[in-house]
Structure 1
Amino acid sequence: MSCCGRRKQEPISLGLPNKCCIGETGCSFDGNLRKVKAEPIYVQKVYDAALFNLQGLKTVTDQPFGPAIGRGNRIIRVLEIRCKKFFNPKDINDPANLVVKPKTLLSGAQFVEDGCGNPIRAVGPDGFKSEKLIFADTQDCDEKCKGTPIFGTQTLKVSGNVVVELDVVVSDDCDKECEVTLVGNINIACPSEPLVLTNFFELCIPSVFDSAFLPRFTEFCNIDCEPRLATNSILRDISVNPSTGSVRVNLIIALCITCEKKIIVPVQLCVLSTGFPQLEPEVSTICNEFPTLFPNQIDKDSVRECKKEKEREEREERKHRHHNDHDDFCCGQSDDLQADD
């Protein structure tokens, strides 16, 4: 193919524009401490927690990437390699979804069961039954005003796919270059044969006797991936079919996993608050007033402020009514004088 005397051009970007946004919480604080008040809340308190980082490796050989770069073209540079978890929002049970399933065995304590071998679960902050009730004899440590240690073995089973994106510079035989993003959907492990990681931990639980609630155990994990070329060489790790332009790549994918375990007990706490969040609603042209989403405060200070506000409104209403009566009297008197004339 002839270049026809054309000069070498700058790379053409095929990337999509980055469209992002900023969230609105409705919370604000102007620094005035007089607006801060103590509030009682009923929440789940963390009595102990442990954080763990685990990692694994996945070697990928001859993985196809798309789209094809065209017949006779070649890859001359790799600009960036990215990796993200695969997730199918239409099917949460899709075996291709990258998931981490933890399984924990305790020593020195046991999970509370229902008599049929099923652990009793409680609803966590995530809205799911993600907490297990645990029991241990804490009497000895209760007498010392300390917590009771428990030990555990955790097994993590990783399965599913990751999506790897390669930003490369493609050149044709005229040395015309353009940037192309190649995408590959790579299987890490099948649910029937998952990648297994193991770690050990120790946690401290409060008294099970001096509380209306049994302690609860919860754990959650997140996984990320970091890919790179197997030997960091384009010639060795990337192969292009000269006839079809199809691309195959050799990769090493590092799986980076963070897990946290917590001991939780429901408690009532006093916290400092600046009040409820206040969002700016969209103005409607039909309704004049809208209902509130939360009830007003009923503590002493709030009731006092409410009474003062109502008294001010009543004074303003009486003042306004007196002013209107005075205007009516003056107007009537003026009319009478004109009638006499």
Structure 2
Amino acid sequence: EEKIMKRKDNNDLLDLTQPEQCCEATTGCSFDGSLRNVVSEPIYVQKVYDAALFNLQGLRTIANQPFAPKLPAGSRILRVVDLRCRKFFNPEDINCPDNLKINPTTEISGASFVKDNGYDVKVVGPDGMESQKLIYADTSDCDKENKGTPIFGTQNIDITGNVVVEIDVIYVDDCSKRCKATLSANVNLDPLTLTNFFELCLPSVFDGAFLPRFAEFCNLSCETRLATQSITRDLTVSPSGRVRANLIISLCVTCEKKIIVPVQLCVLSTGFPQLSAEIAPICETFPSLFPKQIDESTHKKPHRPCILSEEEEENE
């Protein structure tokens, strides 16, 4: 008994803390408030010439969806505490057919996508992927008025894949004991297509070295509820404890379309980010990741003295 007590005392003295479940990001950027540290920097970026944002919604009804795990035999669900829905994604296989995907297909009138052997020419966007298409239209008429040329489009958004639905329930077993359980299911959504129409403004294709670019991207979230909002009608528990549910899943889609042109901008900067290494190094010095700026501002000429020497006067 004395040994057990000593072990407990030693464990109590250990400073054990639970790891944080969430985190905060580190940017490496700081500003002390002094404008003396602000300098101008040129950057080569993509400028958004015109943009349009759309919110779309689709509904999917799911009947007799099985949930896991099974409840004890003879259980009865008393109350639903919470229902949650999230996108399913398999990080081991980006092409997994169960991954929830959004596939937009766009057709435009008043302009055309530039093609190469019948395929749309795609260029690299800010996401590092070939996600932008070159677009062309005869903009000469609107160029004379110093205005953009309107183009129109139709977009079909195909949604395929699965969502994960979780239900927190309170149930009573055959011994009349109340318990709480979380039921989950990987719900397959039949292909769902949403359609919308849009108008964008296209800049001149002649007054620049680059053709305008068309970019579109979407994001999706889901919300779920019981089909009739009734536990007795929408949740069934078999004698063996298998749970099935009738659900309505709402798919909330946000899409944005942009006309983008490459530009060079002069911006005010407080310098480059500076991060501190997290591991204590053995080496005394380490190489830099980015080169230093070398220009006239970094090599300022020294001030001329007020009194010149004879050699300097001759050189003058």
- Quote the residue 1:303 is aligned against: 299
How many Å separate the matches in 2 of 1:38 and 1:176? 70
Alpha-carbon deviation of 1:41?
A: 0.1
Counterpart residue type for residue 78 of structure 2: I
Counterpart residue type for residue 269 of structure 2: S
Is the strand fraction higher in 1 or 2? 2
RMSD: 1.7
Code of the aligned partner of 2:215: T
* Residue 178 (structure 1) shift: 2.4
Large movers: runs of 4+ above 4 Å: none
Contact 2:150/2:201 (8 A) holds in 1: yes
User: What TM-score do the two structures reach when normalised by structure 2?
Assistant: 0.87
% identical equivalent positions = 65
Q: Could you tell me which of 39, 44, 53 is aligned with 2:55?
A: 53
Which residue of the partner structure matches residue 185 of structure 2? 184
Distance in 2 separating the partners of 1:226 and 1:283: 43
Q: Where does residue 204 of structure 1 map in the other structure?
A: 201
Based on CA coordinates, which of the two structures has the bigger radius of gyration?
Answer: 1
Q: CA deviation at 1:173?
A: 3.6
Q: Name the count of aligned residue pairs.
A: 285
| Corresponding residue number in structure 2 for 1:157 | 158
Aligned equivalent of 2:278, options 264, 276, 282: 282
Give the C-alpha shift of residue 175 in structure 1.
Answer: 3.5
Cα offset, 1:99, TM superposition: 0.6
The reply on whether 1:293 has 2:289 as its aligned counterpart is: yes
* Matches of 2:279 and 2:57, distance apart in 1: 51
3-state DSSP class of the match of 1:141? helix
SS, match of residue 130 in structure 1? strand
Match of 1:270, SS state, is: strand
**Letter of the 1:287 counterpart:** C
Describe the superposition over 1:115-164 as per-residue Cα deviations: whole angstroms up to 9, x where unpaired: x2111111111111111000001111111111111110001111111000
Shift of 1:200: 0.4
- Tell me if the contact between 2:73 and 2:174 (Cα under 8 Å) persists in the aligned partners: no
Instruction: Identify the residue that residue 21 of structure 1 maps to in structure 2.
Output: 23
Aligned mates of 2:287, 2:192 — CA distance in 1: 52
In structure 2, stretches of 5+ residues that fail to align are 1-18, 304-316
In structure 1, what is the Cα distance between the partners aligned to 2:118 and 2:278? 52
Query: Structure 1 or 2: larger helix share?
Result: 1
Note the C-alpha offset of 1:33.
1.9
Structure 1 287/117 Cα, relative in aligned 2: closer, same or farther at 3 Å? same
Separation of aligned partners in 1, 2:300 and 2:22: 45
- Distance in 2, matches of 1:257 and 1:248, equals 27
Gaps of 5+ in 1: 1-16, 309-341
Amino acid at match of 1:235: T
Residue of structure 1 in register with 2:219 after alignment = 222
